[in-house]
Amino acid sequence: MDSGVLGLLAGGYEAFNRRDFDRLEAMVADDFVWNEAAEVPGRKLCNGRAEFAAYMREFVSDWDDFAWEILGGEALDDETVIARVRGTGHSHKTGSPVEVVVHHVWRLRDGKLARMDAFIDGRRARAHAAPEQSGR
């Protein structure tokens, strides 16, 4: 993966882990779209920078210590990256632990994050990111 793109994404995940939502908000385009995986409970779609920042704040309120770790990534071109990430934490309500591996398909534009589509299934993420390769 291109080190500049990986650094940008790593910085975003680190900002989330520190709960630095102002930093996250600054990293995304004004018209940023967040499209959560169907299997993840709760809200699925955010449109715009402010709505995304509000969603991130809502999301962490359900967890005592949720954090992301990048497991790997692949740049498909200068504007499309698939990041395989693991999320771990404990439910604020029940104390139950959770661990999930998700594939985030990131679209970049003008040095900012423009869109993220999440998938539990890596094959679906790849097909979404590069439809011309889905038959391979």
In tens, the pLDDT along 40-62 reads 776 679 999 999 988 888 888 88
Residues 60, 67 contacting (CB under 8 angstroms): no
Does residue 85 fall inside a structural domain? Answer: yes
For residues 56 and 51, give the distance between their C-alpha atoms in angstroms, rounded to a whole number.
9
* Pairing relationship of beta strands 45-47 and 67-77 according to DSSP bridges: unpaired
DSSP 29: E
Please identify which residue in the block is written with the tokens 């390769």. Answer: 133
Structure-token pair, residue 16: 């989330």
Q: What are phi and psi of 71, to 5 degrees?
A: -95, -25
Q: Residue 2 above 80 pLDDT?
A: no
Does residue 135 fall inside a structural domain? Answer: no
pTM score above 0.95: no
End-to-end CA gap in the chain: 21
For residues 73 and 103, give the distance between their C-alpha atoms in angstroms, rounded to a whole number.
9
Does residue 136 fall inside a structural domain? Answer: no
Does residue 133 fall inside a structural domain? Answer: no
Assign residue 56 the CATH number of its domain: 3.10.450.50
User: Domain tally for the chain?
Assistant: 1
- For residue 132, name the pLDDT band (cuts at 50, 70, 90): low
Q: Residue 1 above 80 pLDDT?
A: no
Q: In this predicted structure, what is the pLDDT of residue 72?
A: 93
Which one, of 27, 98, 106, lies nearest residue 66 by Cα? 98
For residues 47 and 53, give the distance between their C-alpha atoms in angstroms, rounded to a whole number.
10
Does residue 38 fall inside a structural domain? Answer: yes
- For residue 131, name the pLDDT band (cuts at 50, 70, 90): low
Does residue 43 fall inside a structural domain? Answer: yes
For the stretch 67-94, pLDDT in tens is 999 999 988 888 899 999 999 999 888 9
Which domain covers residue 12, as residue numbers?
3-128
- For residue 5, name the pLDDT band (cuts at 50, 70, 90): confident
Mean pLDDT of all residues in 89-110: 92
